[in-house]
Structure 1
Amino acid sequence: MVIRAYQPFDAVPLAALFYQTVHTVNRRDYTEKQLDAWAPKDIDLGAWDRSLQVHHTLVAVEDGCAVGFGDIDSNTGYLDRLYVHKDHQGMGIATALCDRLEASAAGLLVTHASITARPFFEKRGYQVLRAQQVERRGILLTNYIMEKTR
């Protein structure tokens, strides 16, 4: 596996990875309506690309295919996204990405973790500050504001 910087040509495969992962891995914790609101089929690829370019975004690649990605605002320490392909769960990809992303930011780290991702972040030393309801396309989803001090 290689971890490299995001490039604009990654937008389409990462959008597909995001959709497939959310609709498979997060199914146990969210309803179908919530999954559709969180990861819609009709994602705006231009906005998606711009969002990934604004942050420090890394892509994990294996055999020429993206198997995971994550992004962080290195200035604020906000870890925005961390997703691993549904067929590559539990292989250390999220840990490898997160290690590099965290290292790129100074000070406090913050994320808004899904119900599904909460245990992963807790094992990394993040503490839950509070649960919150976020609205996506008119649908409420639960996630957790978590932080990690170093």
Structure 2
Amino acid sequence: MYLRLYRPEDLESLTRLFFETIHTVNAGDYTPEQLWAWAPGAVDAARWDHTLREHHSLVALDGDLIIGFGDMDGSGYLDRLFVHRHFQSRGTATALCDALERHAAAAGVTHFTTHASITARPFFSHRGYRTLREQQVVRRAVLLTNFVMEKSIT
């Protein structure tokens, strides 16, 4: 596995990975209605491309296959972190987070935040993130639970 910066030509693969990961990996923690509200199968591609270009965005590859991706903005907010269902628990998310956090820390960021799903919360807790609060977010008129989490490095 290796990491590289996001390229616009990755977008279709990333949005497909996003959809498939949510509908498989997250299926144990969310109802089918919530999964479809979160990932209905179509994203605003222009918006995704814009934020992926604006943020520090990394893609994880196994050979030529994209197996994960993540992005963090300049404030230390980890926006997206998704790993292909067949590559779970192999260090991909850890490698992505390590690289994103290192990059942000080198730019002077002293704490990281994320809105972690029920599924991802244990991963972030293990990395030293603490839960600030549980929240309900609305996606397509459906409530989803996630957690605002933070990690300080000072």
Name the TM-score, length of structure 2 as normaliser: 0.94
* 2:121 aligned residue: 118
Kindly indicate whether residue 144 of structure 2 is the aligned counterpart of residue 145 of structure 1. no
- Residues 40-96 of structure 1: CA deviation (Å, up to 9, x unaligned): 1122222221121111100001120100000001x2110111000011101000000
* Residues 1:87 and 2:90 aligned together: no
**Which residue of structure 2 lines up, in the alignment, with residue 10 of structure 1?**
10
What's the counterpart of residue 65 of structure 2? 65
Matched, 1:38 2:41: no
Taking the aligned partners of 2:63 and 2:119, their CA distance within structure 1 comes to: 27
Partners of 1:129 and 1:7 lie apart in 2 by 33
* 2:27 pairs with 1:24: no
In 1: Cα distance, 2:33 partner to 2:50 partner: 26
Q: Which runs of 4+ in 1 moved over 3 A?
A: none
Per-residue CA distance 1:9-51 (angstroms, 9 max, x = gap): 0000000000000000000000111111111112222222112
Q: Percent identical across equivalent pairs?
A: 56
Flag structure 1 segments of 5+ consecutive residues without an equivalent.
none
Instruction: Give the superposition deviation at 1:3.
Output: 0.1
Separation in 1 of the partners of 2:6 and 2:54?
11
SS at match of 2:86: helix
SS in 2 for 1:104: helix
**Partners of 1:70 and 1:42 in 2: CA distance:** 19
5+ residue gaps, structure 2: none
Residues 1:102 and 2:105 aligned together: no
Partner secondary structure for residue 4 of structure 2: strand
TM-score by length of 1: 0.97
| Corresponding residue to 1:136 among 136, 139, 154 | 139
Q: Which residue of 2 aligns with 1:55?
A: 55
